[in-house]
A and B are shown apart, each in its own frame.
Chain A
Amino acid sequence: MRTSKSGGEYNGAALYSFLLGLGHSEALVQKVLRDAGVDRIDPTRWYDINLAMDIYFAIYEKIGRGALIAVGKKMIETAPFPPGLDDAKSLLLGLDAAYRMNARAADIGSITCEFDDDHSATLVWTTLGPCPLNIGIMEGCCSRVGAPALVEHGAGGCMDEGGSSCTYLVSF
């Protein structure tokens, strides 16, 4: 797991919506939160970013890759977004800004997005969260505007396996 060394913070609202996305797994959420030393997540406050990542990775370990993708997708499909973000391209382009609204530290990484044409993009993530969650988030961005996407992990390494970044090839 990657960590922030600069003592960053993570928005409780983002973490809360992720836990809501888990839906049926209330017992699992409670166990993971207990293990992390917190009783509940308050959506109005900020948490230590490494604690938030601990929670993401603990849940990833318990529910597996496919389920985590589904949670990430559901989380984005139901999240409130600013007006104007109404197509897949603008949502994908806005991911870096959205990430920075929810995570604040000097070493949180970034999300870059380049469009190859009107229906495909290459995104490079150097963020702290688990890789399948990123895939779910991108799938959710596209599906919430009615453009179901195929998100493929590009060659060149994966952060969950020690790589410095994850490249995703998105076709929508």
Chain B
Amino acid sequence: MQAQSEWIERERTGLVAALAERLGRRSGSVFRSAGAAACEAIAARMVAALGADVTSGKDTAGREAMLALVQQFAGKLGYADLRHLTTTLRQLVLAAAADAEPAERQRVDDWLFQLVLVGSMRFVAQREEAFQEQAAQLEVRQLESQLEELKAAFAEKTRLLDVIRQASTPIAPVHEGILVVPLVGLFDAQRAQLLTDRLLHAIGEARASVVIVDISGVPLFDSDAAELIVRTSQAVRLLGAQMLLVGLSPGMAGTIVGLGFDLSSLKTLSSLQDGLAHALTLRKLRIAPVAGR
């Protein structure tokens, strides 16, 4: 085997120099941008691998040299670079082995073929990894973008709900010291909190002593809603005012009784008209015809 590969030893220096020169010559290649010293090292590694494998009768050194090359230029080695390296190496090596025995030339040709296969496989594997990484990054970016859109939509929805709540909880001063709050729509904990905050502020501002809360526009008034109203009423009482609950339908009353909730701490009246009349009484006022009519 030693005798068979004598031509490699004889041609080694010339092969390395020629391969390095041609690798560095091609414009746009990674070899050229890596510089002359890198091209020299790659050429020396490839020729040494050829010598070792021809001597051993295996492909191990060639495989390792090719893997090292792909790793060395991770992500930068293109198919054209790989093609340039393998075709140039093949041309130079087969020319150098022109005088070798036919079996030896065949062996070298097989080795070069294996080198192309290993290089192509590693190249495709590396591209595949790069594509997968890019696809994963793209998916993350898309998810982040969707999340941002959802956050923006949620913020807008929250803002609109707040506007609706504000608009559906008006507080109207109907007479000196008397406020009317007509509730329309669903009455939940968030709205109860909003009502309490606004009501306490309005009582202080209007110096009100009676607040009439009309729930005839609330579609569902269950024990939860009743509890919220009672709490609001307690807060109102702490400011020295009284809360009257009006608009309780027979159905609602039945439901509350059925649930066993006690509304006795609240003054309840059937209609807004009754509530207003009661409020005027509490203020020691009454509605009287205008004199002379």
Contacts and interface: CB of A to CB of B under 8 A. Distances in A.
Nearest to B87: A117
A127 interface: no
Category for how many chain B residues contact A: 10 to 19
A150 B120 CA distance: 14
Interface in B73-108: 76, 78-81, 83-84, 87
B87 A169 contact: no
B78 A116 contact: no
A122 B80 CA distance: 9
Contacts of B230: none
A149 B194 CA distance: 67
Contacts of B32: 155-156
A154 B28 contact: yes
B18 to A, nearest CB: 16
A152 B80 CA distance: 7
Contact of B26 (A116, A150, A168): A116
B80 A155 contact: no
A124 B32 CA distance: 15
A167 interface: yes
Contacts of B67: none
Considering residues B26, B27, B30, B33, which has the most beta carbons from chain A within 10 angstroms of its beta carbon? B27
A168 B80 CA distance: 10
A83 to B, nearest CB: 30
A88 B79 CA distance: 18
B29 interface: yes
Contact of A167 (B28, B76, B83): B28
Q: Chain A's interface: helix, strand, loop or mixed, by majority? A: strand
A3 interface: no
Contacts of B87: 117
A126 interface: no
Interface residues of A, number: 15
B30 A120 contact: no
Contacts of A168: 28
Contacts of A170: 80
A135 B6 CA distance: 46
Residue from the set A116, A154, A156, A171 with the largest chain B CB neighbour count within 10 Å: A154
Contacts of B33: 155-156
B83 A120 contact: yes
Contact of B78 (A124, A152, A156): A152
Interface in B51-84: 76, 78-81, 83-84
Nearest to A152: B78
B83 A171 contact: yes
Contacts of B28: 122, 124, 154-156, 167-169
6 contacts: A150-B79, A152-B78, A154-B29, A156-B33, A167-B27, A171-B80
Given A124-B27, A156-B27, 12 more contacts: A116-B84, A117-B87, A120-B83, A122-B26, A150-B80, A155-B29, A155-B30, A167-B27, A169-B28, A169-B79, A169-B81, A171-B83
Q: Which 8 A-B pairs have the closest CB atoms?
A: A154-B28, A167-B28, A169-B80, A155-B33, A152-B78, A155-B30, A152-B80, A171-B80
